[in-house]
Structure 1
Amino acid sequence: MAESEAFTAGSRNGRGEATVEPSRTPEANVAERKNATKIIYIVYIIAALDVTWMFLQFSVTPYVAKKLGFDTLWFGYLQTTVGLIQLLGGPMFGRFGDVFGARIALLLACASTVVFFLLLAVADHPVMLFVHKLPTVFMHVLPATQMVVADLTEPDKRAAALSKVGLCFGIGMIFGSTLGGHLNTHYGEKFTACFGAAGSFFSLLLVYKFIPKTTKVQPAEGNISNERRNRSVFSIREITRLMDFPGVSRTFAVKVVAGLPSGIFQVMFSIIALEFFKLDPQQNGNLMAFFGITQMVIQGGVIDRLTSRYSESSLLLVSVAISSLVGLAHAYMQDIFQFCLTVVPMMFSLSVFNVITDSILTKSVPSSDTGTMLGLCSSVQSLLRTVGPTVGGFLYVNYGVSSIGTVQFVVNVVVFLYLLRRHLNKTPEHQD
């Protein structure tokens, strides 16, 4: 299978930045770029399909849980379980991808998704509903696709390329929600879950056919022994050492602190839509479609242009500033119309913030560690899903919706001032 041969794209320096080997002919470089582009397009398709299946299961799990006697509290426990499992599995999965290659990692993620849906289809007891969540420890298709994209793109084009994964997320959100609702209404939960398993198996076939064994640059001869010494997937030291690279711990802290308030709002939105805005299921579905379309436009047509004109540090600063203003608006909103006015800036700040921080972090470590770093980045989202319901529920019950917006405003203002101080202290030659 010619498509499954290892892909190499020149050498990289210690910071993971690609350099072209002088011995290669221009024709060889053009052929490699075309091959890389083809693989990236296939990866985008795999990402869109994965998000489709993810949102398809969102139309199944709540109804199965209701039939099995779950109340709101126990359904919250179920969601928290998923967050904890993926929080633990994210960094390990990223390390697995670095050690064994993107193809094996993606095959494992897609196979786990197949098992996930099959277990959901046969879930006939509350315990089984918890058991069917266990495969989520390996269900990290999106971080794995981001790893491939990061490996096959030049550093100056990485943010734009990663933003396209977000575009795939918007596409999958719309199609998955629509398809899941239609299948569940007409054919029931079991058929919908089996359809998700079949779709995930198709994604697995795409990975097997088109994704190369490795997308990383092969180590130099002098580094082979070092690579072999550090092939442990479960090495906590190998994962945490990434924080020692210049700027990584600072950027990662910004990603966690600034992302927490907006993450709380996201995990609480279903409750806010139901109790505060009084939306019925159809209205909520239309609003989710609006989210998806907005994200598609921003990820597909806006971020690419911004990253080609402005530095990543400037875009990070702007995204945090807009997020603080969105929090202030949420603190004073009274109805769904006022909320809809904040959707575009909210999605813009979220999209830019996530893409830019992921891009900065992957460029701050060697190419051999980009998977581990993206696994750590995905664990941030899992952390938000784990602590978000508890913190958000406390704020909502005791202080109302406005308190969530106020916290977002205050936290992001503090982060903005910190980033602004660092930005102004940089000399021109150190600007990104």
Structure 2
Amino acid sequence: MNPATETTQETSKSAVPSPVNAEDQRKRAKVINVVYIIAALDITWMFLQFSVTPYLAKKLGFDTLWFGYLQTTVGVIQLLGGPMFGRFADLFGARVALSLACSSTVVFFLLLAIADHPAMLFIHKLPTVFMHVLPASQMVVADLSEPNKRADALSKLGLCFGIGMIAGSTLGGHLNTRFGETFTACFGAAGSAVSLLLVLKFIPNSTKSPSSAASTKTENTKKSVFNLGEITRLMKFPGVTPTFLVKIISGLPSGIFQVMFSIIALEFFKLEPQQNGYLMAYFGISQMVMQGVVIGRLTARYSDNSLLLMSIGVSSLVGLAQAYMQDVFQFCIIVIPMMFSLSVFGVITDSMLTKSVPSSDTGTMMGLCASVQSLLRTVGPTVGGFLYVNYGISSIGLIQFFVNICVFVFMLQRPLRRATEHLE
């Protein structure tokens, strides 16, 4: 027998949760539903913050490049913290991990509320090293869901993302316009405290299966959170490395546009805070439709590899459209295929990666997935700021088009067939 196949079979066995009775299923469903609420609240507070930071930065004298440096700082901090936090969640359990993440969010908003100097805007980003509520939520959902239903379960977190985007953008725009940045930041701190109370009340200490929990408990006494070998060994599982490469290369151009969007809305579209809030709410509605209605039906009918290829192809066309858009109305039309490609790409790659490792390592894997997003946020602001200042918004769209076309053609010739066979 092929050693790779043997490893995969062992992985699949360890990744499949043990049979559960009806009572256990109800408990699992209850925890998952609470996690959905916590995730929706966390996204709400984050998008509320997006209605504060760009305008506060402008008041404090930041230009486009310095705002890019600020965003890069966040990316670097979370890039370093993501994998460590994921392993921390595997070793110490869901409740401790989510409590740490929510507590850090409270501190984050309190520092933002008192920011009255450019240096304070950088200092208030330091708690983001622990602010990984969404990856921790993904870990819980991956632990408690069946492998064949994992993509659909993870897509519901995207639905929560859409709800949070609508609520946070709309609320943040109104609060910032009527009461100012300080009050809005304090409101975010209070909301994050509510999220923390939900974690302490409803989330169990561990969401791992009994066998995985026992293995993790043994590891806890022997190994450190900062053991890089335990983190990087996941890259050796079949299918993980090529999927990660696709996730990084194809996701980078769209990541550049996302991290630069607040500046694009401010300078290219000339939007006021309240108008920007409405636009972000529109994003949220689009995301809700994709995550709540479209993805579940697609995953039931098509393979992960086919959906991944489709999302990359659509992303290339979105980049071409972004390169030639002229106003907000045209952008609102582009948002529909853009949210489709982003939603499918994120859910499918995360689902493929978590199905390729044992259930005892889902937190670490989600941390690695989060580090990919952090890498995009690290490189994106600096590269995006340079491109936007020197070549305009069209350059960002054209790069997205050419990069994704290249990945699309490469995958047509050499699809992730082996990875898909292992993962599915």
Matching residue's letter, 2:284: G
Q: Does 1:418 align with 2:410?
A: yes
Given the alignment of the two structures, is residue 160 of structure 1 paired with residue 152 of structure 2, yes or no? yes
| Corresponding residue for residue 240 of structure 1 | 232
**What are the residue-to-residue correspondences of 1:21-36 with 2, within 5 Å?**
21=19, 29-36=21-28
Partner of 1:14: 11
Q: How far apart are the structure 1 equivalents of 2:213 and 2:55?
A: 55
2:295 aligned partner: 303
Q: Which residue in 1 is equivalent to 2:349?
A: 357
Cα distance change on mapping 1:222 and 1:79 into 2, 3 Å: closer
Deviation at 1:308, TM superposition (A): 1.2
CA gap 1:221/1:154 in 2 versus in 1, 3 angstroms: closer
SS in 2 for 1:14: helix
Aligned length: 415
| Deviation for aligned residue 1:429 | 7.7
What is the 5 A alignment of 1:228-267?
A: 228=220, 230-267=222-259
Name stretches of at least 5 consecutive residues in structure 2 with no aligned partner.
1-8
Contact 1:13/1:19, CA 8 A, preserved across alignment: no
1:385 alignment partner in structure 2: 377
CA distance in 1 between partners of 2:256 and 2:200 (Å): 37
2: CA distance between counterparts of 1:336 and 1:162? 31
8 Å contact kept, 1:48–1:169: yes
Q: Distance in 1 between matches of 2:180 and 2:253?
A: 36
Equivalent residues of 2:152, 2:299 under 8 A apart: yes
| Counterpart for residue 317 of structure 1 | 309
- The question of 1:398 aligning with 2:390 is answered yes
- Residues 224 and 53 of structure 1: CA distance in aligned 2, closer, same or farther (over 3 Å): closer
Query: What are the residue-to-residue correspondences of 1:33-48 with 2, within 5 Å?
Result: 33-48=25-40
Q: Provide Cα deviations, 1:280-338, integer angstroms capped at 9, x if missing partner.
A: 54443332221111001101111111111111111111111111121222233344333
Match of 2:190 in 1: 198
Q: Call closer, same or farther: CA 1:317–1:402 in 2, change over 3 Å.
A: same
Matched, 1:210 2:207: no
2:170 alignment partner, one of 175, 178, 200: 178
| Distance in structure 2 (CA, Å) of the matches to 1:276 and 1:66 | 15
CA distance in 2, matches of 1:324, 1:93: 33
**Structure 1 286/182 Cα, relative in aligned 2: closer, same or farther at 3 Å?**
closer
Give how far 1:409 is off: 1.6
Deviation at 1:101, TM superposition (A): 0.7
Among all aligned residue pairs of Structure 1 and Structure 2, give the percentage whose two residues are the same amino acid. 73
> What is the TM-score when the length of structure 1 is the normalising length?
0.89
Q: 1:18 to 1:358 in 2, by over 3 A?
A: same
For the structure 1 residues 192 and 393, does the alpha-carbon distance in structure 2 shift closer, same or farther, using more than 3 Å as the test? closer
Verify: 1:128 aligned to 2:120, yes or no. yes
Per-residue deviation at 1:194?
A: 2.0
Stretch moving more, 302-311 or 67-76: 67-76
Unaligned runs of at least 5 residues, structure 1:
1-11, 22-27
- Name the CA distance, whole Å, in 1 between partners of 2:217 and 2:418: 39
Aligned to 1:338: 330
Q: Please, which moves more after superposition, 98-107 or 118-127? A: 118-127
The Cα of 1:71 is off from its aligned counterpart by: 4.0
Matched position secondary structure for 1:214: coil
Instruction: Tell me how far apart the structure 2 counterparts of residues 86 and 125 of structure 1 sit (CA, whole Å).
Output: 23
- Counterpart position of 1:25: none
- Would the aligned equivalents of 1:146 and 1:165 in 2 still touch at CA under 8 Å? yes
Once structures 1 and 2 are overlaid, which stretch shifts more, 252-261 or 307-316?
307-316
Contact 2:85/2:132 (8 A) holds in 1: yes
- Using the alignment, how far apart are the partners of 1:420 and 1:306 within structure 2? 20
Note closer, same or farther for the CA distance 1:272–1:184 as it changes in structure 2 (3 Å cut).
closer
Q: Secondary structure in 2 aligned to 1:246? A: coil
Indicate whether 1:293 and 2:291 are aligned. no
Q: Are residues 18 and 431 of structure 1, via their aligned partners in 2, closer, same or farther at CA, if it must alter by over 3 Å?
A: closer
Change (3 A) 1:229 1:82: same
Q: 1:336 to 1:105 in 2, by over 3 A?
A: same
Aligned to 1:187: 179
CA distance in 2, matches of 1:426, 1:83: 32
Q: 1:195 to 1:225 in 2, by over 3 A?
A: closer
Matches of 2:185 and 2:422, distance apart in 1: 52
* Partner Cα separation in structure 2 for residue 179 and residue 431 of structure 1: 40
User: 1:99: how far off?
Assistant: 0.7
Q: 1: distance between equivalents of 2:40 and 2:153?
A: 14
Q: Is the 1:56–1:181 Cα contact (8 Å) retained in structure 2?
A: yes
What does the per-residue CA deviation read over 1:132-162, in whole Å, with 9 as the maximum and x for residues that have no partner? 2111100000111011000000111111111
Of 344, 348, 354, the match for 2:340: 348
Q: 1:299 to 1:192 in 2, by over 3 A?
A: same
- Pick aligned residue for 1:268 from 239, 242, 260: 260
**What is the letter of the counterpart of residue 78 of structure 1?**
L
CA contact (8 A) 1:110 1:200 kept: yes
| 1:413 maps to amino acid | I
What is the rounded CA distance, in whole Å, between the counterparts of 2:366 and 2:423 in structure 1? 24
- Which is worse superposed, 76-85 or 38-47? 76-85
Q: Could you list the per-position Cα deviations for residues 215-270 of structure 1 after superposition, in whole angstroms to 9, with x for gaps in the alignment?
A: 01233799578624653101111111110000101100000000001111222223
Cα 1:222–1:116 change in 2 (3 A) is closer
| Range 184-193 or range 142-151, more displaced | 184-193
Q: Would the alpha carbon gap of residues 44 and 69 (structure 1) be closer, same or farther in structure 2, given more than 3 Å must change?
A: same
1:2-61 Cα shifts (integer Å, max 9, x gaps): xxxxxxxxxx9523431435xxxxxx6111111111100000000000011111122233
Q: CA deviation at 1:184?
A: 2.7
> Partner letter of residue 18 of structure 1?
V
Aligned Cα root-mean-square deviation (Å): 2.5
